[in-house]
Amino acid sequence: MIDKSAFIHPTAIVEDGAVLGANVHIGPFCIVGPQVEIGEGTVLKSHVVVNGQTKIGRDNEIISLPPSAK
């Protein structure tokens, strides 16, 4: 279920079965898997991948980082 107030960037993929709460913001090039629940007011910045059986609470901000060159 995706709340009608949630924003999903046109380049993002949200798979069937994902649950997005009110005022969730899914940024560019994000992928949200089918067993993911994202709480109200949470923001996924660009290039974030959330998959597997995952529950993220409300009012969080998730960012991505470039791979380290070790």
Query: Cα(20)–Cα(30) distance, rounded to whole angstroms?
Result: 13
The answer to whether 8 and 2 have CB atoms below 8 angstroms apart is yes
Q: Could you tell me how far CA 34 lies from the centroid of its own chain? A: 11
- What's the whole-model pTM score? 0.91
* Number of helices followed by number of strands (H, E) in the chain: 0, 10
pLDDT, tens digit, for every residue of 7-63? 999 999 999 999 999 999 999 999 999 999 999 999 999 999 999 999 999 999 999
Q: Where are the domains of the chain?
A: 7-51
